[in-house]
Amino acid sequence: MVSSGGSAPILGTFTTGAQVQEYIRQNGVEIVDLRFVDLLGTVQHFSIPSAELSDSMFDWGTGFDGSSIRGFQTIDESDMLVVPDPRAAFMDPTLKHKTMAIMCDIRDPMNGEWYSRDPRFIARKAEDYLRSTSIADISYWGPEIEFFIFDSARFDYTANAGYHFIDSEEGIWNSGQEGANLAYRPRHKEGYFPLPPVDSQQDLRTDIILSMMSAGLRIDKHHHEVATAGQAEIGLHYDSLVAQADSVQIYKYLVRQVTKAAGKVATFMPKPLFNDNGTGMHTHQSLWKDGNTLFYDPNGYAEASEMMMYYIGGLLRHAPAILGFAAPTTNSYKRLVPGFEAPTNLAYSRRNRSAAARIPMYESGQPETKRIEFRCPDPTTNAYLAFSAMLMAGLDGIQNRIHPGEPADTDIYDLSPKEAAGIPQVPGSLDAALDALEEDHEFLLKGDVFTEDVIRTWLDFKRARDVDGMRIRPHPYEYFLYFDQ
């Protein structure tokens, strides 16, 4: 039994529902917040008095209306169940009342089966499929999540108006403001990474990571990022696939909660500012078996094993389809353009940040650190789906011995158009990425990890809401270009 004394429980403290309930009884927990993820990756929740958390909830679940959740059920089949996972319970450090939050899985009450459109279930199936192949028994994931912290954000779109207005005291555009002006602002693309007072958000980022650590997230580092106005990065230490996807959701929640408490607002949009660097989620990944890495070979290129090279080959071969999940918004493709350190080239290299797949070389000669950094994803992704899609692509590369070809060890951005012509590019739009996913998803269906229903539901939703939603609306810049013509 987990001790009731000491500090608040963090992710991974409990393994059974009985342990959760014992902690609640002995520590005066008032509220249990049951959380789950919709198909797009947004966490939904409802709260119950702690005394209502029962054994049956951990075994069978408790009901909710699935027809009100994006990408889930139709209204005629709306009844669904959430089943709390004791391994994903933690004390929420940001709420007024003593609240234990628990990430949940989704079950169909009619047949008792896990719900095929539940992103967390898809991620669990990806881990099961990995083990079934005997290639590896675990995959590790380390996302570098970036975000912006602004002082205000106003936006609206109506029949006769459309605008956004973002402001940040750190923005270089405020260098000429009248009145109290303390200067010390990073210039465009010079935010990596000055000391305070130029970096004005050091203490706020520290508040964020202390909140994360109290919930059980393992943090590598935090710092200001390249863009001028409040761009930040907090790195998560590597973890297994489902556990890390849970951590991504908690990470984003705590960033928003702590910045709101400080009177600011955070966004994970890939490109909220014109003509400055965007926000990515470079995703480090590796395969292990029997406690040993499978990606290290001291004699290989960049100390990479043959298996690692095939994994990279699968990632690059299927990258356009992967981005249908891993760069899932129209705004994502305003980030994936040349000139802003974004990975637009589907090539691989050691150390080279102009390639989509990078083999970091910080720790040469250390097998346990050998990994791939896939640089195309951004944090608007549903991490459960994106990590699963990347894993399935890498495994397909291993199974089919897809070699990625020669590395790109020069700065691809500096190549002439003729030299760069043979290097495949990332899709130029969400529409193109969704087309690629529609055409290339057989690798995702292995082991029933993804299903045709999930992929079709995703494609239909993203095309109707995102692609068509943007396509049919006049854009403010079109007025700038065309109003007088």
* Catalytic residue list: 65, 144, 146, 225, 233, 282, 353, 373, 375
Q: Of 236, 203, 232, 207, which is closest to residue 219 (Cα–Cα)?
A: 236
Q: How far apart are CA 16 and CA 136, in angstroms?
A: 27
Tokens of 458: 């995703």
- 106, 81 contact by CB (below 8 A): yes
- 36, 115 contact by CB (below 8 A): no
Q: How far apart are CA 8 and CA 215, in angstroms?
A: 8
Query: Is beta strand 162-167 parallel, antiparallel or unpaired with respect to 152-157?
Result: antiparallel
Tokens of 15: 């393994």
How many angstroms separate the Cα of 309 from the Cα of each of 117, 304, 426? Answer: 32, 7, 20
Read off φ and ψ for residue 156, nearest 5 degrees: -160, 155
Close Cβ partners of 285 (under 8 Å, ≥ 6 residues apart): 139, 140, 141, 142, 371, 372, 374, 387, 390, 391, 394
Q: Of 366, 363, 372, which is closest to residue 398 (Cα–Cα)?
A: 372
- 277, 225 contact by CB (below 8 A): yes
Q: How far apart are CA 146 and CA 380, in angstroms?
A: 10
CA 351 from centre of chain = 22
Q: Of 308, 274, 144, 277, which is closest to residue 222 (Cα–Cα)?
A: 144
